[in-house]
């Protein structure tokens, strides 16, 4: 008679000298689960739901966030030209309209209150209270290696050291959480248990024998999943090493100019590679179940980053957001660049927005191509909230914020929809809804008592 397969804890890690690797969900973890996805109601949650908030600064040009064609039932038929990178994943998206943050506005207050949605005192650097990601982390954080993960792109230009412009996660009303800006540091937090390991020594090599033993105990699907998972980690390690090498080469050749903040070792000089690598860190954290709560600032709240690597773009992101000023001589400009027409400058601003849509689409697609033991995709058990704390960048508007919800929320959300509130609605109602997907039901947040209804 065959012996019963050995069961292991959902929190089992692969261990080696000075290293530990969290595992994705496997068949041999805990009690067997049904291959059929469940369909929880709002206010309930499965124990493996994840949530991530992705923030970008400087708002968007008026009209650039509206789907081009919407059916009578609210389903999205076609996105506009600036949202085109999201077209292939639109079935997973809920594009919102008429949500706002009445208590937060501008680059500082807007950033600081995006997830706290309360009053802001810039003189005291004080917000309303704990941010929603930390409220959720307090509920589910004890189930994973890291209660939450705060990621950010390292800032460029003015305000890189400004506290409110660099913080969306707050432990309490006076304490913003520090952010991880270096991919290697994120990786080490998830997978290394000692600082005394040479950077050229592979984490996978240190735990490979433990992995082989575990594979012998698992199902065929488990063995394949562990192989794929370890290969994914190896691939990221190689990219981290490549990033170190490229930074050293750039320093040697003098490629880093005064307009760029000098990257620390491990931060790619290529912005595209940097953002993609940080997104891969987020995916890996959710896949490994290293955390179920993440925030990612795709830049600080008044980014002056140059996007001249995008064709037909010139000037800093913040300058482009003030697309009605084309002289190049305002306080928002660098004093070097001007524009021919307002339309051409607005189009450059929209191209930067579209570039960030490409990165978000990459994240959605990555999560949709990873499967849970239940047969569901990782995206089905994840909620992504992607957007900015400003609406029209030139006006510093707080009404009609650009926001997209992606993922299934554990079976709660149906994608491919345009959610247009009948009247201006506080983002706090959305926060109440998203927290419920993680099993957090509050009687009040940001002055609101009822969640936003999302079909």
d(CA 321, CA 60): 7
Give the pLDDT confidence score for residue 19 in this predicted structure: 75
Domain extent, residue 333, equals 37-181+267-436
* Within-domain flag for 429: yes
Residue where one domain finishes, among candidates 266, 290, 324: 266
CATH number at residue 120: 3.40.720
- Residues 58 and 237 sit within 8 Å (Cβ to Cβ): no
- Name, in order, each residue with C-beta under 8 angstroms of 32's C-beta and a sequence gap of 6 or more: none
pLDDT of residue 254: 60
Question: If DSSP states are collapsed to H, E and C, what string results for 191-260?
Answer: HECCCCCCCCCCHHHHHHHHHHHHHHHCCHHHHHHHHHHHHHHHHHHHHHHHHHHHHHHHHHHCCCCCCC
| pLDDT value at residue 217 | 78
Q: What is the pLDDT along the chain (455 residues), one digit of tens a residue?
A: 444 456 777 667 777 767 777 777 777 775 444 334 444 454 445 568 999 999 999 999 999 999 999 999 999 999 999 999 999 999 999 999 999 886 666 788 888 889 997 777 777 778 888 999 999 999 999 888 899 999 999 988 777 777 778 899 999 988 999 999 998 888 888 876 665 555 456 777 777 777 878 778 778 888 888 888 888 888 887 777 776 766 666 666 665 444 433 334 578 889 999 999 999 999 989 988 889 999 999 999 889 999 999 999 999 999 999 999 999 999 888 889 999 999 999 999 999 999 999 999 999 999 999 988 788 999 999 999 999 999 998 988 888 999 999 999 999 999 999 999 999 999 999 999 999 999 999 999 988 999 999 86
Boundary-marking domain end, from 246, 266, 286: 266
Asked whether residue 372 is assigned to any structural domain, the reply reads yes
CA distance 349 to 321: 6
Asked whether residue 386 is assigned to any structural domain, the reply reads yes
The reply to whether 60 and 165 lie within a common domain is: yes
CB 296 within 8 A of CB 52: yes
Query: Quick one: 72 and 215 in the same domain?
Result: no
Question: Residues with Cβ < 8 Å from 123, sequence gap 6 or more?
Answer: none
Residues 153 and 275: beta-carbon distance below 8 Å = yes
Residues 119 and 17 in one domain: no
**Any idea what DSSP says for residue 149?**
E
pLDDT score of 26: 79
Q: Would 1 be classed as within a structural domain? A: no
Q: How far apart are CA 297 and CA 431, in angstroms?
A: 17
Q: How many separate domains does the chain show?
A: 2
Question: Same domain for 224 and 348?
Answer: no
Domain end call among 266, 299, 323:
266
Residue 225 covered by a domain: yes
Considering the domain boundaries, does residue 162 fall inside one? yes
Whether residues 258 and 276 share a domain: the answer is no
Name the phi and psi angles at 268, rounded to 5.
-60, 145
- Say how far apart CA 202 and CA 212 lie, in whole Å: 16
Q: Answer whether residue 242 is part of any domain.
A: yes
As a whole number of angstroms, the distance between CA 455 and CA 453 comes to 7
């Amino acid at each position: 008679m065959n012996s019963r397969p050995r069961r292991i804890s959902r929190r089992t890690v692969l261990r080696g000298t000075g290293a530990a690797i969290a595992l994705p969900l496997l068949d041999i973890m805990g009690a067997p689960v049904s291959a059929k996805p469940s369909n929880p109601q709002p206010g309930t949650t499965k124990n493996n739901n994840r949530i991530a908030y992705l923030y970008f600064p400087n708002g968007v040009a008026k009209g650039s966030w509206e789907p081009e064609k919407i059916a009578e039932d609210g389903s999205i038929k076609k996105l506009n030209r600036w949202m085109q990178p999201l077209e292939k994943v639109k079935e997973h998206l809920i594009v919102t309209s008429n949500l706002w943050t009445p208590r937060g506005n501008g680059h500082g207050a807007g950033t600081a209150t995006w997830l706290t949605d309360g009053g802001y005192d810039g003189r005291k650097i004080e917000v309303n209270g704990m941010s929603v990601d930390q409220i959720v982390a307090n509920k589910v954080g004890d189930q994973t290696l890291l209660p939450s993960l705060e990621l950010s792109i390292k800032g460029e230009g003015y305000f890189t050291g400004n506290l409110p412009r660099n913080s969306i996660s707050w432990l309490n009303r006076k304490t913003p959480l520090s952010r991880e800006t270096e991919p290697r540091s994120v990786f080490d937090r998830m997978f290394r248990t000692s600082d005394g390991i040479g950077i050229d020594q592979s984490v996978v090599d240190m735990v490979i024998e433990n992995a082989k033993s575990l594979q012998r105990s698992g199902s065929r699907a488990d063995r394949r999943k562990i192989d794929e998972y370890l290969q994914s980690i190896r691939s990221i390690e190689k990219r981290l090493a490549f990033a170190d090498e490229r930074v050293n080469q750039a320093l040697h050749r003098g490629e880093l100019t005064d307009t760029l903040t000098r990257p620390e070792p491990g931060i790619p000089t290529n912005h595209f590679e940097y953002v993609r690598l940080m997104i891969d860190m987020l995916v890996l954290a959710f896949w490994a179940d290293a955390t179920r709560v993440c925030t990612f600032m795709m830049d600080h709240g008044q980014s002056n980053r140059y996007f001249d690597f995008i064709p037909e773009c010139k000037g800093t992101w913040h300058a482009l957001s003030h697309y009605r000023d084309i002289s190049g001589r305002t306080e928002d400009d660098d004093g070097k660049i001007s524009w021919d027409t307002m339309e051409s400058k607005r189009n450059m601003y929209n191209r930067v927005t579209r570039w960030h849509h490409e990165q978000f689409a990459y994240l959605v697609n990555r999560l949709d191509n990873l499967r849970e033991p239940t047969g569901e995709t990782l995206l089905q058990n994840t909620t992504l909230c992607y957007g900015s704390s400003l609406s029209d960048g030139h006006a510093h508007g707080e009404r009609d914020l650009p926001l997209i919800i992606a993922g299934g929320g554990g079976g709660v959300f149906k994608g491919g929809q345009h959610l247009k509130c009948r009247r201006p609605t506080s983002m706090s109602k959305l926060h109440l809804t998203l927290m419920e997907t993680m099993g957090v039901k509050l009687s009040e947040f940001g002055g609101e008592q009822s969640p936003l209804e999302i079909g």
